[in-house]
Amino acid sequence: MISLKIHNKEGKWMEGYDSLAAQNKEALFLAQKGEEEYGDSQGWLDTEEWADEKRIRYLETLAADIRQNADVFVLIGVGGSNNAARSVIKALQLPDTPEIVYAGNTLSAHAMQQMLGKLEGKSIYVNCIAKNFETLEPGAAFRVLRKYLQERYGNKAPDRIIATGTVGSSLEKLCMDNGYAFLEFPDNIGGRYTAVSNVGLLPMAVAGINIRELVRGASDMQKELRERTAEENIAYRYASLRNLFYSRGYRIEMLACFEPRFRYFYKWWIQLFAESEGKDNKGIFPVAGEYSEELHSVGQFLQDGTPIIFETFLDIKEHQDSFYMETDGKKDGFNYLDGKDFWCINKEAYKATVTAHSEKMPCLTLEIDRLDAYHFGQLFYFFQFACYLSCKLMGVNAFNQPGVEAYKKKMFDALGKQLEK
């Protein structure tokens, strides 16, 4: 299971934690039950609802067929439609599986040309993921790729297209009219909470990820968080600490790790908290630090800059990989590293950084046993539940996104969508 560590508990920023945590236990109780008020957005609370045995078997079969026939699998989606899958694929994709190419997350003409260039001479399958099929970027990319597949494969093109959307959407109708395979996008889950559903699981399975283990990890974390009391509940403790730091003037949370395989997980985490919490002129702004590289760009500010940031580190307990520094007999100033394992060097860098930073700001560590599909499942459920709790403590709706709808309308107006019949 995930463990939570608070560094420098004597720091002034910890004052009032016990009182805050004791006052808000009702929020945990309500979240554990699920709230009727948010019933149209809480399909993720029970992992079994959208990741039961029947669905997993179907996705495994479909993914196996794609792996057998595809050189490239194009994942069309943006934000919640691709961030979860991408984070796991980039960290854990198995060899001898299709190359995963991402589309529908930019409007750049250059990026579109580059993406199409990767497809030449290869066997292509496409998965378009769009909840209501109204977002500009995936809609535009799907049109381009449908045309590309039609030109290459003729009347066989529909066999290579899978679309994931809500039942009754225009995307489902497009599939029915043209013979594309259709997967259901849960109508009671917002995109940023869909990791453990058709949305995230099919692309992961195509990349050879053990989705059964990922679902098991999420399910085990669900039991842990929905049954534990406030005193034992790590999601409640994490949410309470975030809100305590917020009340002390810390307005930015940096999720940091010394393992670069978390690079795309940061994107998922940033969207989860920014889109859930950032409303009503409230919210902690989420950013990420890929250490140790970014220590050499933002480390100075973290140590001596404006005190508005707190850090949450991700750490991996189990020693999974080794690479030893060999002696080369030259006086280069680095002989103190002779015979040391890079895993251990990296771990010491993490410990030193936490020690230094926790003297200046609040620092937490969330530790997982190992980096694998099971623990990704745990992380997804943990952060989703913790985000829900944090929003409750902050007094905002975790599941709407009025600001997103505002800029989308401006984009549509500028491009003349209102004139389309």
pLDDT tens figures, 83-131: 999 999 999 999 999 999 999 999 999 999 999 999 999 999 999 999 9
Q: Which H/E stretch holds residue 347?
A: helix 342-357
**Pairing of β 99-103 and β 161-165:** unpaired
Question: Which CATH number fits the domain 47-209, given the four candidates 3.40.50.10490, 3.30.930.10, 3.30.950.10, 3.40.50.150?
Answer: 3.40.50.10490
The predicted structure's pLDDT at residue 406: 81
The CA distances from residue 367 to 20, 77, 347, 359, in Å, are 24, 30, 12, 20
Distance CA 40, CA 61 (A): 30
The predicted structure's pLDDT at residue 392: 97
Q: Which residues of the chain have a pLDDT value below 50?
A: 419, 421
The CA distances from residue 363 to 11, 222, 375, 380, in Å, are 10, 25, 22, 21
Domain boundaries, the chain: 3-33+214-402, 47-209
The predicted structure's pLDDT at residue 408: 81
Distance CA 67, CA 70 (A): 6
The predicted structure's pLDDT at residue 420: 52
The predicted structure's pLDDT at residue 114: 96
- Which one of 137, 275, 277, 311 is the catalytic residue? 275
The CA distances from residue 365 to 3, 254, 362, in Å, are 8, 11, 10
Distance CA 408, CA 107 (A): 14
- Which one of 7, 118, 360, 408 is the catalytic residue? 408
Counting Cα atoms < 13 Å in the Cβ hemisphere of 308 gives: 10
Same CATH fold assignment for domains 3-33+214-402 and 47-209: yes
The predicted structure's pLDDT at residue 421: 43
> 64: which DSSP letter?
H
296 is catalytic: yes
- Which one of 110, 296, 330, 421 is the catalytic residue? 296
Distance CA 399, CA 405 (A): 13
Q: What tokens were used for 351?
A: 């410990």
The architecture that CATH gives domain 3-33+214-402 is 3-Layer(aba) Sandwich (3.40)
378 touches 197 (CB < 8 A): no
Kindly report, residue by residue over 48-93, the tens digit of the pLDDT.
999 999 999 999 999 999 999 999 999 999 999 999 999 999 999 9
| Residue that the structure tokens 């990922």 belong to | 214
The backbone torsions φ and ψ at residue 204, rounded to the nearest 5 degrees and listed phi first, read: -60, -45
Distance CA 159, CA 153 (A): 9
Residues 6+ apart with CB under 8 A from 40: 187, 188
